[in-house]
């Protein structure tokens, strides 16, 4: 994604004003690490402000040479539903990502709509709690841009991601995979809705047609097979109420690496 100079000036100016981190634009531009963060923050004004305010770093990014020769697929590798099978047979032409809940304008976006939006590519390391890691290259649309399109309603605090698959339905009969993150992570510049892995369309095993990448958190937060994103002020009442499939089964909601 290309940065427009005016946009960048605005970003730098407003971030300085918002954080009081440094006193002038020149000082900020000369500060290599902050400038680097701003470069990577791309057009996400709100995200970069929060980033600076919270002193939250970016997850480490790697090079093509670091890509893992194989990237394990984990959890669901083929959603077990007729709806998903139908969508897959049609190459996901009829698939839509619904964005609703506490938004001003609910959205229904096709894969083509998402691919037409500005994209971000990042090479990152995925860490699963089961004890394996892999480095992959992900391309997708920054979640912040999708949220900007929908416009948040006052009071929205979390984005909840609903997936197409039921994982271990047998546990208690409520096996729908879902996840959630707060708005700080939602607007983080490396939080993307990814439709491409290692330069190719996302494979079904890895979450086709769309999955979340939320790079500062563990693997189970990276919801695959996205169908709907709901903005909420609390996740009480959403399945087990803990904000995610694994969270409802005892895992941490904030799975920071």
Ligand X SMILES: Nc1nc2c(c(=O)[nH]1)N[C@H]1C(S)=C(S)[C@@H](COP(=O)(O)O)O[C@H]1N2
Instruction: Using DSSP bridges, classify how beta strands 176-182 and 132-142 pair: parallel, antiparallel or unpaired.
Output: unpaired
- Is 224 an interacting residue with respect to ligand X (CB under 6 A)? yes
Q: Which of the stretches 7-15, 31-39, 54-62, 202-210 binds ligand X when contact is defined by CB under 6 A?
A: 202-210
**Within the chain, how many helices (H) and strands (E) appear?**
8, 10
- Is 165 an interacting residue with respect to ligand X (CB under 6 A)? yes
Q: Which of the stretches 11-19, 48-56, 65-73, 217-225 binds Mo ion when contact is defined by CB under 5 A?
A: 217-225
- Is 96 an interacting residue with respect to ligand X (CB under 6 A)? no
The helix (run of H) or strand (run of E) holding residue 160 is: strand 158-166
Paired residues of 137 in beta bridges? 123
Q: How far is the CB of 218 from Mo ion (least distance, A)?
A: 7
Paired residues of 212 in beta bridges? 193
- Is 128 an interacting residue with respect to ligand X (CB under 6 A)? yes
**Closer Cβ to ligand X, 177 or 195, answer by number:** 177
- Is 219 an interacting residue with respect to Mo ion (CB under 5 A)? yes
**Closer Cβ to ligand X, 8 or 251, answer by number:** 251
Q: How far is the CB of 74 from Mo ion (least distance, A)?
A: 5
Spatial CB neighbours of 140, under 8 Å, sequence gap ≥ 6: 114, 119, 120, 192, 193, 194, 195, 196, 210, 213
Residue from 209, 244, 234, 229 nearest 100 by CA: 229
Q: Residue 120: which of ligand X, Mo ion, none does it interact with, CB under 5 to 8 A by kind? A: none
- Is 194 an interacting residue with respect to ligand X (CB under 6 A)? no
DSSP-assigned letter for residue 246 = T
- Is 177 an interacting residue with respect to Mo ion (CB under 5 A)? no
Q: Bin 82: left if φ > 0, else alpha if -120 < ψ < 50, else beta.
A: alpha
Q: Residue 223: which of Mo ion, ligand X, none does it interact with, CB under 5 to 8 A by kind? A: ligand X
Q: CA-CA distance, 23 to 65, in Å (whole number)?
A: 39
- Is 220 an interacting residue with respect to Mo ion (CB under 5 A)? yes
Q: CA-CA distance, 56 to 256, in Å (whole number)?
A: 11
Residue from 193, 167, 158 nearest 245 by CA: 167
Of 120, 213, 216, 222, the residue at the interface with ligand X (CB under 6 A) is 222
Interface of this chain with Mo ion, residues 122 to 141, rule: CB under 5 A: 128
**Closer Cβ to Mo ion, 187 or 220, answer by number:** 220
Size of interface with ligand X, in residues (CB under 6 A): 19
Paired residues of 194 in beta bridges? 140, 211
Of 74, 124, 139, 190, the residue at the interface with ligand X (CB under 6 A) is 74
Size of interface with Mo ion, in residues (CB under 5 A): 3
Residues at the contact surface with ligand X, assessed by CB under 6 A: 72-76, 128, 163, 165, 167, 177, 205-207, 219-220, 222-225
């Amino acid at each position: 994604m290309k940065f427009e100079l005016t946009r960048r000036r605005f970003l730098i100016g407003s971030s300085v004003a918002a954080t009081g981190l440094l006193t002038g634009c020149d000082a900020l531009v000369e500060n290599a690490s902050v400038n680097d963060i701003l470069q990577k923050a791309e057009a996400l004004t709100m995200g970069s402000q929060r980033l600076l305010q919270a002193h939250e770093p970016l997850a480490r990014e790697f090079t093509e040479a670091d890509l893992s020769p194989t990237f394990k697929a984990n959890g669901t590798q083929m959603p077990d539903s007729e709806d998903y099978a139908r969508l897959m047979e049609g190459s996901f032409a009829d698939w839509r990502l619904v964005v609703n809940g506490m938004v001003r304008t609910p959205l229904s976006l096709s894969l083509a709509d998402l691919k037409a939006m500005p994209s971000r590519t990042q090479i990152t390391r995925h860490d699963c709690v089961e004890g394996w890691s892999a480095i992959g290259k992900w391309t997708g649309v920054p979640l912040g841009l999708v949220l900007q399109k929908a416009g948040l309603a006052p009071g929205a605090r979390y984005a909840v991601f609903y997936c197409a698959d039921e994982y271990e339905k047998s546990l208690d009969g409520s096996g729908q995979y879902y996840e959630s993150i707060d708005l700080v992570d939602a607007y983080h510049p490396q939080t993307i809705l990814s439709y491409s892995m290692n330069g190719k369309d996302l494979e079904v095993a890895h979450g086709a047609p769309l999955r979340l990448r939320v790079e500062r958190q563990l693997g189970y937060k990276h919801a695959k097979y996205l169908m709907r994103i709901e903005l909420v002020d609390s996740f009480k009442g959403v399945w087990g109420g803990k904000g995610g499939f694994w969270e409802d089964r005892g895992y941490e909601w904030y799975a920071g690496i």
